[in-house]
Amino acid sequence: MALPLWKNLLQTTKERILQQRRLSLYNGAHGYEEELIKKKLQQFAGGSINLSKEDNGIGILTLNNPKLMNAFTGTMMVELQERITELENWKDGKGLIVYGAGNTFCSGSDLNAVKEISNSQDGMDMCMFMQNTLTRLMRLPLISVALVQGKAFGGGAELTTACDFRLMTPGSEIRFVHKHMGLVPGWGGAARLVQIVGSGAALQLLSGTARVDPEKALRLGFSEQTLSSSDETRALEEARAWLSQYTEGPVSVIRAMKKVVTAGRELPLEDALRTEKDIFGTVWGGPANLEALVRRPKHK
Ligand X SMILES: CCC(=O)SCCNC(=O)CCNC(=O)[C@H](O)C(C)(C)COP(=O)(O)OP(=O)(O)OC[C@H]1O[C@@H](n2cnc3c(N)ncnc32)[C@H](O)[C@@H]1OP(=O)(O)O
- How far, in Å, CA of 141 to CA of 87, rounded? 9
Q: Which is nearer to ligand X, 153 or 242 (CB)?
A: 153
For residue 63, give the 3-state DSSP assignment.
strand
For residue 101, give the 3-state DSSP assignment.
coil
- In 164-261, the DSSP E strands lie at 165-168, 173-175, 225-226
Does 155 help bind ligand X (rule: CB under 6 A)? yes
Q: Which is nearer to ligand X, 123 or 286 (CB)?
A: 123
| DSSP element (H, E) containing 100 | strand 95-100
Q: Pick the binder of ligand X from 40, 166, 178, 258 (CB under 6 A).
A: 178
* Least distance to ligand X, CB of residue 224, Å: 24
Q: Residue 215: which residues within 8 A CB-CB, separation 6 or more? A: 226
Alpha helix positions (H), the chain = 5-23, 34-41, 74-88, 111-116, 120-138, 155-161, 189-197, 199-207, 214-220, 232-247, 251-266, 269-283, 287-295
In the shown chain, the binding pattern of residues 180 to 219 toward ligand X, with x for contact by CB under 6 A and - for none, equals -x-x---x--------------------------------
Scan residues 66-125 and list those touching ligand X (CB under 6 A).
Answer: 68-69, 71, 107-112
- How far, in Å, CA of 150 to CA of 231, rounded? 10
Q: Which stretch binds ligand X (CB under 6 A): 34-42, 65-73, 133-141, 233-241?
A: 65-73
Q: Pick the binder of ligand X from 117, 137, 167, 177 (CB under 6 A).
A: 177
Scan residues 225-254 and list those touching ligand X (CB under 6 A).
Answer: none
Q: Which is nearer to ligand X, 59 or 155 (CB)?
A: 155
What are the φ/ψ torsions at residue 298 (nearest 5 degrees)? Answer: -95, 130
* Least distance to ligand X, CB of residue 108, Å: 2
Report the candidate in 32, 14, 105, 116 with the shortest Cα–Cα distance to residue 74: 116
* Least distance to ligand X, CB of residue 117, Å: 12
* Least distance to ligand X, CB of residue 66, Å: 9
Q: Which is nearer to ligand X, 143 or 205 (CB)?
A: 205
What residues make contact with ligand X under the rule CB under 6 A? 68-69, 71, 107-112, 151, 153-155, 177-178, 181, 183, 187
